[in-house]
C-alpha cells in the first residue's frame, strides 16, 4: 500500500499541462478527477442526474442509462477474459443468453409450463428478485467452466474460433428446443417493482409521481447502477489480487507463468468463470428490464459489439472499458438519430451515386449503418490506436521501457505478447506499486 504522502505526490508527470498546473483549491484539477476520486465523481453524477430533468422526459433517459449500465457490466465481464487473462472470447453472448433464460426460469415458471409440469405461468417471482443475481451468476459461471475446460489447450486464435462456435451453438439450442419459446423467446414477466427508500426518493424527487413499475424506471435504474458498482469494485479488486496477477502472468507469457508456479488450468478456468458470471448478471438485468427475451439479440454481432467496447476504451483498462461501453451505447441512442437528421437537411449527400447511393435514398436510416460504423471503429482502433482511448496504467508503465514500435501495439499486446514479451522493463515497477490503488487518471498520455 502506498503511503499517503506517496499518494499525494503528483502522479501526472507526463500528463496534460492544463490539468497538471491549473489549480482548483489546494490541488491541480487532475487530482480531483483521477483514480477513485474520478470514479466517485462519475458515480455521483449518475446518481444525481435524474434530479435535473423534469419528470416526463426522464423515463427514456433512465432507460438509456439502464442499457449503458447493462453493457458496462457485460464489457467488464468480457474484459476479465480478454483483457486480464488474454483469452479472446468471440462467443461471449452465450453467457448473456444463459443469464436471461435463468431469469426467465426462476421468475415466471414459463419453462416449467412448457415441460408440462405446471400449466399455469407463475406471474410472481417465487424467490426474492435480488437472489436471482447470484443464482444466474453461479449458473453462467458453471457453464463458463464447462465451455472453458476443453478449450484451454488451444492457442489464442484457435480459442477464439472455438468460443465463436460455442457462441453460435447456444442460441441455436435455445431457439429450437421448444421449452425455451423458440424464435419468439421466453418471458421474464416478473418485472421487479423496486421501491426506493423514502429518503432517497424524496431527494431524487420521485415521490410526486406514481407510475406503474413498468414505466417508472427509476428503481430499476438504481438497481442497475448498484450492480455496476459491485462489478466495478469486483473487477478492480480481482485485478489487484493474486489471481489477477496470475492472469496477467499467463497473458504475458504462458510458459514462464507455468514455470513460476501458476496453475494454468485453474487460472484460465477462473477467468472464464468470472467473465461468464458477469455475462449472466447482465442477462438477468436485460431480461428483467425488457420483460421478455428476444433470441435474435444473441448473435455474433452482439459479441463483437462488446468486444469493440473493450478495444475502443482500452483492453484491460477498467475506466477505458466503461468509457467504451458508454460511447458505443450513446452512438446507438443519440448519434445515429442526429446523423439521420443531418442527412435529411444537408444537400451535400443528395448527389452521391454508386456504392454509396444509399446515402441519397430518402428512406435511408443511419441505424442500418450501425454495424458498419462499429466495424470502422474496430479497424481504426486496431490500426491507429491499439492501446485504446484510456489505456491501462500498468500497461503503459510497462511499455515505457520498450520504445515506440512496441507501444504502437500495446493494447493488443495485452492479449498475447510473443513479439515484445522480452521487453518489459523494470523501470516502472516502483510507480506500479505506487498506483495500485488508483485505477485511472485524468488524461492518459496521448501516444
CB-nearer residue toward another protein: 330 or 378: 378
CB-nearer residue toward another protein: 76 or 304: 304
How far is Cα 281 from Cα 77, in angstroms, rounded to an integer? 9
How far is Cα 276 from Cα 1, in angstroms, rounded to an integer? 31
Catalog residues that contact another protein under the rule CB under 8 A.
88, 90, 150-151, 153-158, 160-162, 164-166, 168-169, 172-173, 175-178, 182, 255, 300, 304, 307, 311, 355, 358, 368-369, 371-372, 374-379, 382-383, 386, 405, 409, 412-413, 415-420
CB-nearer residue toward another protein: 20 or 252: 252
How far is Cα 394 from Cα 249, in angstroms, rounded to an integer? 13
CB-nearer residue toward another protein: 233 or 379: 379
Which DSSP helix (H) or strand (E) runs through 96? helix 93-108
In our burial notation (b when 16+ CB lie closer than 10 A, e otherwise), range 343-372 reads beeeeeeeeeeeeeeebeeeebebeebbee
How far is Cα 295 from Cα 302, in angstroms, rounded to an integer? 11
Cell numbers standing for residue 195: 421501491
Query: Smallest gap, in angstroms, from Cβ of residue 129 to another protein?
Result: 31
By CB neighbour count within 10 A (0-12 exposed, 13-18 middle, 19+ buried), where does 100 fall? Answer: buried
293 CB-near residues (< 8 Å, 6+ apart): 100, 101, 104, 181, 185, 186, 187, 188, 287
CB-nearer residue toward another protein: 217 or 343: 343
Query: Smallest gap, in angstroms, from Cβ of residue 20 to another protein?
Result: 32
DSSP 80: I
How far is Cα 148 from Cα 158, in angstroms, rounded to an integer? 13
Asked if residue 161 lies in contact with residue 183, where contact means CB atoms within 8 angstroms, the answer is: no
Measured CA distances, 425 to 78, 116, 351, 391, 430 (Å) = 28, 63, 55, 18, 11
How far is Cα 221 from Cα 219, in angstroms, rounded to an integer? 5
Tell me the residue length of the chain. Answer: 447
CB-nearer residue toward another protein: 315 or 322: 315
Query: Smallest gap, in angstroms, from Cβ of residue 162 to another protein?
Result: 5
By CB neighbour count within 10 A (0-12 exposed, 13-18 middle, 19+ buried), where does 373 fall? Answer: middle
Asked if residue 276 lies in contact with residue 95, where contact means CB atoms within 8 angstroms, the answer is: yes
Query: Smallest gap, in angstroms, from Cβ of residue 310 to another protein?
Result: 10
- Grouping H, G, I as helix, E, B as strand and the rest as coil, residue 304 is helix
CB-nearer residue toward another protein: 23 or 153: 153
Query: Smallest gap, in angstroms, from Cβ of residue 364 to another protein?
Result: 8
Query: Smallest gap, in angstroms, from Cβ of residue 280 to another protein?
Result: 21
CB-nearer residue toward another protein: 209 or 360: 360
Query: Smallest gap, in angstroms, from Cβ of residue 293 to another protein?
Result: 17
Which DSSP helix (H) or strand (E) runs through 24? strand 23-24
CB-nearer residue toward another protein: 228 or 420: 420
Query: Smallest gap, in angstroms, from Cβ of residue 92 to another protein?
Result: 13
Query: Smallest gap, in angstroms, from Cβ of residue 106 to another protein?
Result: 23
Query: Smallest gap, in angstroms, from Cβ of residue 308 to another protein?
Result: 8
CB-nearer residue toward another protein: 77 or 386: 386
CB-nearer residue toward another protein: 84 or 221: 84
Query: Smallest gap, in angstroms, from Cβ of residue 330 to another protein?
Result: 19
Amino acid at each position: 500500500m502506498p503511503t499517503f504522502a506517496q499518494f499525494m505526490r503528483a502522479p501526472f508527470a507526463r500528463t496534460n499541462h492544463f490539468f497538471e498546473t491549473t489549480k482548483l483549491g489546494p490541488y491541480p484539477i487532475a487530482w480531483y478527477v483521477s483514480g477513485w476520486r474520478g470514479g466517485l465523481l462519475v458515480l455521483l453524477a449518475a446518481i444525481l442526474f435524474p434530479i435535473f430533468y423534469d419528470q416526463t422526459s426522464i423515463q427514456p433517459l433512465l432507460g438509456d442509462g439502464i442499457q449503458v449500465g447493462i453493457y458496462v457490466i457485460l464489457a467488464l465481464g468480457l474484459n476479465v477474459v480478454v483483457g486480464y487473462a488474454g483469452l479472446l472470447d468471440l462467443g461471449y453472448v452465450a453467457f448473456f443468453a444463459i443469464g436471461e433464460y435463468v431469469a426467465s426460469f426462476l421468475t415466471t415458471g414459463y419453462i416449467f409450463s412448457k415441460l408440462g409440469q405446471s400449466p399455469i405461468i407463475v406471474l410472481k417471482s417465487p424467490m426474492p428478485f435480488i437472489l436471482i443475481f447470484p443464482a444466474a451468476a453461479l449458473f453462467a459461471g458453471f457453464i463458463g467452466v464447462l465451455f472453458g475446460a476443453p478449450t484451454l489447450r488451444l492457442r489464442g486464435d484457435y480459442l477464439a474460433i472455438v468460443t465463436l462456435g460455442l457462441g453460435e451453438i447456444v442460441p441455436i439450442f435455445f431457439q429450437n428446443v421448444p421449452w425455451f419459446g423458440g424464435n419468439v423467446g421466453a418471458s421474464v414477466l416478473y418485472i421487479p417493482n423496486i421501491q426506493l427508500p423514502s429518503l432517497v426518493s424524496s431527494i431524487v424527487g420521485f415521490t410526486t409521481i406514481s407510475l406503474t413499475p413498468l414505466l417508472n424506471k427509476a428503481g430499476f435504474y438504481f438497481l442497475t447502477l448498484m450492480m455496476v458498482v459491485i462489478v466495478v469494485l469486483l473487477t478492480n479488486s480481482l485485478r489487484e489480487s493474486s489471481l489477477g496477477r496470475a492472469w496477467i502472468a499467463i497473458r504475458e507469457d504462458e510458459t514462464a507463468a507455468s514455470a513460476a508456479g501458476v496453475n494454468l488450468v485453474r487460472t484460465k478456468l477462473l477467468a472464464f468463470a468470472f467473465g461468464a458470471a458477469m455475462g449472466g448478471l447482465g442477462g438477468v438485468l436485460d431480461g428483467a428490464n425488457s420483460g421478455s427475451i428476444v433470441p435474435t439479440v444473441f448473435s455474433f454481432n452482439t459479441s463483437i459489439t462488446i468486444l469493440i467496447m473493450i478495444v475502443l476504451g482500452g483492453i484491460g483498462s477498467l475506466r477505458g472499458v466503461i468509457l467504451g461501453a458508454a460511447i458505443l451505447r450513446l452512438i446507438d441512442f443519440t448519434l445515429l438519430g442526429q446523423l439521420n437528421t443531418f442527412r435529411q437537411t444537408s444537400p451535400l449527400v443528395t448527389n452521391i451515386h454508386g456504392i454509396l447511393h444509399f446515402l441519397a435514398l430518402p428512406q435511408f436510416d443511419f441505424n442500418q449503418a450501425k454495424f458498419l460504423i462499429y466495424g470502422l471503429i474496430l479497424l481504426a482502433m486496431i490500426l491507429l490506436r491499439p492501446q485504446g482511448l484510456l489505456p491501462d496504467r500498468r500497461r503503459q508503465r510497462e511499455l515505457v521501457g520498450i520504445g515506440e514500435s512496441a507501444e504502437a501495439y500495446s493494447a493488443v499486446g495485452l492479449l498475447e505478447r510473443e513479439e515484445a514479451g522480452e521487453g518489459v522493463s523494470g523501470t516502472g515497477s516502483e510507480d506500479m506499486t505506487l498506483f495500485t490503488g488508483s485505477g485511472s487518471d485524468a488524461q492518459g498520455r496521448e501516444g
